[in-house]
């Protein structure tokens, strides 16, 4: 069976390997250059984190190459569509299942071997892309403290493996249920994108309750490390929450503070905002930041990967049930 | 023929309409929220453009949705375009379709015509919604000319959609099998978009470079597309770093001394004025290389034109193949 799988997928496998190799070459060349820049920067700043974090922060990444990791977000869906969806559906459409399922190999073993290899291939593709992206992003993550942000979180660590395995399982299951390749492909693509949007936008922020820190406006506070900040701004004495941004804050300030605001307009943190901050402080305002601490990065990666692997397992279980029961 | 196309594609059409309606609902819901917040900010700041900058417009759950629309053309091309000829050949229904009184040319013209029109309509509706939705953000951040914004607004999405559909139809006719054709659509569309975005678009017109005094300030007016900026030494060595860390090593020693903490940041403190005066005295200038905001629509037009021309070429190839192929 492994040999049959190899014969059926060797062309696709070769193409995938070539694309992966090209991706790896670009990322390696660019990544080495970034690492050298980063090293220069560290030496110039002599380990002073304040020096590294001054605005505007220097740019490390090349715009053209830095699009590649975002483009790679579509890879799981492509694998699920082109390899997963036809697995059962195409055999049924061309009636080759009549032949495949009439051999001494049981259907369960037939499906185990084919689906097993494809799921493994998806995991390897996802893992290789993710490993390269994670390494390539290292200096930029350190500089921008951005590893936890959507976009970075989704392309690094272990979650891309979960996405790839899930998309492949979805393609296989969709093809089996729809019994036709093209609708299977549409379901794999729509389902993958839809679920990714719902989970990353609506579920991920709530895997653990977010932390809110209040601080004095005359001082400053930023969550340490690569935290994921949801919102920040100021809270009035009566509890009114105002998101950061002078356009938002101005209209709700007491008149005495508004006068100070006008003095420093256009406001900028580096100007003499101190009197305004003191005024807000005196009127009972506090600053707040709501965030997920940096220490939760790996728990979040684990939870999200787990969700996708569980869904993949459920989809594969459904596929086995259908294939075993279906009339040949 | 029109009736036949309708019968073959009514499920897909209904699905696409439902998705478009859902997208419209999200765009309108978010767009009105952003617009009302923007109006209150504009009123508060009373025309002070600096005041508007730091404010956060609503970046709610649907913030990433405009970027998702980048994928619409390739989905249409893969699911509707690729099977147009390939699926007929695979299932041998072409034997039947091509032996009717309707000529192959007319058969293809009607089917491809409706699909290309549908692609253009989908691309246009989505782009119109995203353009309206992004209006306040574009005004606040002056970013309409920057990559993901430029690609999801204006008229280019129509060009992308028509091209992707044409690519799907042509790939199906050339490869004669649906699945490989779908793969070609994905690879071809994403690859071409990447190459044109990254390597061709910045050079559609010669970029403008403005040099200015280090002690002064200059930024291109409006929503310009800044390609590069930094400082240039008296010998012409350009350092592509705004106020930079990379700059530090190339400065004369007399100026390096003035760098507080070993690395300068413009505007961080007034003491930097000494550094800038020193750079100025040593013959350094700053530069910005950019595409002016006034070129936004010419660039939209050129890029749309490129994709429409490619689409026309692909459709011509498809006609040539379908006419000659043995039924």
Contact residues on chain A for B68, CB-CB shorter than 8 A: 193, 197
Tell whether A270 is within 8 A of chain B (Cβ): yes
Helices B296-324, B104-141: crossing angle, 10 deg rounding: 160
A49 in contact with B at a CB cutoff of 8 Å?
no
Judge if A104 and A233 occupy the same domain: no
Between the CA atoms of B290, B295, B301 and B302, what dihedral angle is there, to the nearest 10 degrees?
-40
Residue A55 predicted with pLDDT over 60: no
Are A118 and A250 contained in the same domain?
no
Neighbouring CB atoms inside 10 A of A87's CB total 25
Are residues B173 and B304 part of one domain?
yes
One pLDDT digit (tens) per residue for chain B, 327 residues: 888 888 888 888 999 999 999 999 988 988 888 888 888 777 776 666 556 655 556 555 556 778 888 999 999 999 999 999 999 988 888 888 888 888 889 999 999 999 999 999 999 999 999 999 988 888 888 889 988 899 999 999 999 999 999 999 999 999 999 999 999 999 999 999 999 998 999 999 999 999 998 888 888 888 999 988 888 888 888 877 655 566 767 778 787 777 655 544 444 444 567 777 888 888 888 889 999 999 999 999 999 999 999 999 999 999 999 988 765
Residue B2 falls inside a structural domain: no
State the smallest CA–CA distance between residue B179 and chain A in angstroms: 7
Q: Is the pLDDT of residue A268 over 50?
A: no
Residues B30 and B115 placed together within one structural domain of the fold: yes
The domain total for chain B is 2
Based on the fold, state whether residues B172 and B276 are members of the same structural domain.
no
What number of residues does chain B have? 327
Domain that holds residue A244: 211-292
Are residue A194 and residue A169 in the same domain, yes or no? yes
Q: How large is the average pLDDT for residues A114-129?
A: 95
The residues, ordered by sequence, that sit 6+ positions from B322 with a Cβ below 8 Å of its Cβ are B85, B104, B105, B108, B173
- Put simply, the answer to whether B241 touches A185 (Cβ < 8 Å) is no
Cα separation, B257 vs B266, whole angstroms: 16
Interface of B with A in 251-280 (CB under 8 A): 261-263, 265-269
Q: Are residues B315 and B240 in the same domain?
A: no
pLDDT for A60 equals 73
Provide the CB-side half-sphere exposure for B148 (13 A, CA). 17
Same domain, B136 and B261: no
Claim to verify: residue A114 and residue A98 sit in the same structural domain: yes
In a domain, B7, yes or no: no
Contact flag B54-A37 (C-beta cutoff 8 Å): no
Partner-chain contact A248 B83, CB within 8 Å = no
Residues A142 and A229 grouped into a single domain = no
In a domain, B129, yes or no: yes
- Is B11 within the bounds of a domain? no
Question: Is B98 within the bounds of a domain?
Answer: no
pLDDT digits (tens, 9 = 90+) for A81-97: 999 999 999 888 888 88
In-domain check, residue B3: no
Q: pTM to 2 decimals?
A: 0.86
> Could you tell me if A215 and A319 lie in one domain?
no
> Do residues B127 and B266 share a domain?
no
Q: Are residues A136 and A241 in the same domain?
A: no
Query: Same domain, yes or no, for B249 and B108?
Result: no
- Highest average pLDDT, of A275-279, A316-320, B226-230, comes from A316-320
B252 and B158, same domain (yes or no)? no
Most confident among A143-147, A198-202, A297-301, A324-328 (mean pLDDT): A297-301
Q: Is there a single domain that holds both residue B283 and residue B308?
A: no
Pair A258, A168 in one domain: no
A157 in the same domain as A127: yes
Say whether both A24 and A77 belong to one domain: yes
Number of domains in chain A: 2
ipTM above 0.90, yes or no: no
CB contact under 8 A, A270 and B78: no
Provide DSSP, B52-75.
Answer: HTTPPPP--TTTTHHHHGGGHHHH
Whether A51 has its CB under 8 Å from any CB of chain B: the answer is yes
- DSSP character string of A11-51: HHHHHHHHHHHHHHHHHHHHHHHHHHHHHHHHHHHTT-HHH
- Are B243 and B128 members of one domain? no
Residue B256 inside a domain? The answer is yes
The answer to the question of residue B12 being in a domain is no
Same domain, A188 and A280: no
Q: Tell whether B64 lies on the interface with A, counting CB pairs under 8 A.
A: yes
Question: Å from A270 to nearest chain B CA?
Answer: 6
**Domain residue limits at B75:** 19-93+103-205+294-324
Q: Are residues A309 and A163 in the same domain?
A: yes
* pLDDT mean over A292-302: 95
Contact B54 A267 (CB under 8 A): yes
B1 and B101 Cβ atoms separated by less than 8 Å: no
Interface of B with A in 72-91 (CB under 8 A): 75, 78-79, 83, 87
Q: How confident is the model at residue A206 (pLDDT cuts 50, 70, 90)?
A: very high
| pLDDT band, very low/low/confident/very high, at A70 (cuts 50, 70, 90) | confident
Residue A205 has pLDDT above 70, yes or no: yes
């Amino acid at each position: 069976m492994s040999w049959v799988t190899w014969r059926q997928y060797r062309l696709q496998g070769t193409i995938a390997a070539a694309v992966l190799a090209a991706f790896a070459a670009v990322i390696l060349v660019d990544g080495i250059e970034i690492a050298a820049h980063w090293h220069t920067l560290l030496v110039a700043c002599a380990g002073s984190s304040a020096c590294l974090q001054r605005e505007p922060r220097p740019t490390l990444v090349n715009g053209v190459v830095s699009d590649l990791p975002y483009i790679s977000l579509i890879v799981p869906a492509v694998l699920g569509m082109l390899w997963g969806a036809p697995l059962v559906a195409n055999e049924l459409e061309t009636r080759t299942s009549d032949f495949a399922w009439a051999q001494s190999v049981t259907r369960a073993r037939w499906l185990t071997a084919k689906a097993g290899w494809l799921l493994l291939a998806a995991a390897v593709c996802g893992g290789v892309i993710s490993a390269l992206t994670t390494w390539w992003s290292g200096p930029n993550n350190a500089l921008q403290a951005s590893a936890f942000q959507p976009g970075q979180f989704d392309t690094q660590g272990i979650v891309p493996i979960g996405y790839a395995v899930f998309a492949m399982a979805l393609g296989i299951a969709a093809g089996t249920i729809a019994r036709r390749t093209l609708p299977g492909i549409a379901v794999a693509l729509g389902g993958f994108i839809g679920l990714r949007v719902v989970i990353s936008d609506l579920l991920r922020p709530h895997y653990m309750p977010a932390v809110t820190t209040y601080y004095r406006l005359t001082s400053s506070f930023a969550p340490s490390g690569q935290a994921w900040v949801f919102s920040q701004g100021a809270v009035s004495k009566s509890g009114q929450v105002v998101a950061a941004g002078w356009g938002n804050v101005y209209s709700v300030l007491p008149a005495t503070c508004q006068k100070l605001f006008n003095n420093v307009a256009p406001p900028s943190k580096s100007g003499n905002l101190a009197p305004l901050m003191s005024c807000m402080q005196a009127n009972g305002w506090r600053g707040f930041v709501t965030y997920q601490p940096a220490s939760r990065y790996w728990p979040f990666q684990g939870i999200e990967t787990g969700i996708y692997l569980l869904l993949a397992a459920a989809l594969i279980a459904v596929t086995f049930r259908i294939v075993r029961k279906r009339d040949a | 023929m029109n009736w036949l196309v309708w019968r073959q594609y009514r499920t897909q059409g209904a699905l696409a309409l439902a998705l478009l309606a859902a997208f419209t609902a999200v765009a309108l819901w978010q767009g009105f929220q952003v617009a009302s917040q923007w109006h209150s900010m504009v009123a508060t700041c009373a025309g002070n453009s600096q005041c508007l900058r730091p404010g956060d417009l609503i970046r709610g759950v649907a913030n990433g949705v405009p970027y998702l629309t980048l994928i619409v053309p390739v989905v249409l091309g893969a699911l509707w375009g690729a099977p147009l000829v390939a699926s007929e050949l695979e299932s041998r229904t072409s034997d039947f379709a091509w032996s009717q009184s309707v000529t192959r040319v007319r058969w293809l013209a009607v089917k491809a015509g409706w699909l290309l029109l549908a692609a253009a309509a989908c691309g246009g509706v989505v782009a119109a919604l995203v353009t309206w939705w992004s209006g306040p953000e574009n005004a606040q951040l002056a970013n309409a000319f920057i990559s993901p914004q430029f690609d999801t607004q204006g008229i280019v999405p129509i060009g992308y959609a028509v091209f992707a559909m044409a690519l799907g139809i042509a790939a199906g006719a050339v490869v004669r099998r649906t699945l490989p054709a779908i793969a070609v659509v994905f690879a071809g569309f994403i690859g071409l978009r990447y190459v044109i975005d990254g390597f061709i678009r910045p050079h559609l017109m010669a970029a403008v470079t403005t040099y200015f005094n280090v002690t002064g300030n200059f930024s291109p007016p409006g929503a310009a597309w800044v390609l590069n900026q930094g400082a240039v030494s008296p010998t012409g060595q350009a350092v592509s770093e705004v106020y930079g860390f990379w700059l530090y090593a190339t400065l004369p020693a007399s100026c390096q001394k003035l760098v507080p903490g070993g690395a300068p940041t413009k505007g961080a403190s007034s003491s930097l004025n000494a550094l800038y005066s020193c750079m100025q005295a040593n013959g350094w200038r700053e530069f910005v290389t950019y595409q002016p905001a006034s070129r936004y629509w010419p660039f939209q037009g050129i890029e749309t034109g490129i994709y429409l021309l490619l689409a026309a070429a692909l459709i011509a190839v498809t006609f040539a193949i379908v006419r000659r192929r043995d039924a």
